Amino acid sequence: MAMAVKTKVSKIIAVLHELYPNPTCALFHHNAFELLVATILSAQANDKTINTVTPELFAKFPTPAAMAAAPLAEIEHLVSRVNFFHNKSKNISAMSKALVEKYHGEVPQSIEALIKLPGVARKTANVVLGTVWDIKSGIVVDTHVMRLSQLLGLSTASEAPKIERDLMAIVPQDDWILFSNLLIYHGRQICIARRPLCKNCGLNKLCPSAFRAVPF
Question: Which residue pairs, CB below 8 angstroms and at least 24 apart, start in 84-90?
Answer: 84/43, 84/44, 84/45, 88/40, 88/41, 88/43, 88/119, 90/118
* Spatial distance between the Cα atoms of 2 and 51, rounded to a whole number of angstroms: 40
Provide the b/e sequence for 2-16 (b: ≥16 CB within 10 Å): eeeeeebbeebbebb
Residues annotated as catalytic (active site), given as ranges: 123, 142
Question: Which residue pairs, CB below 8 angstroms and at least 24 apart, start in 56-61?
Answer: 58/30, 58/34
* Spatial distance between the Cα atoms of 146 and 30, rounded to a whole number of angstroms: 27
Start-to-end CA distance of the chain, whole Å, equals 28
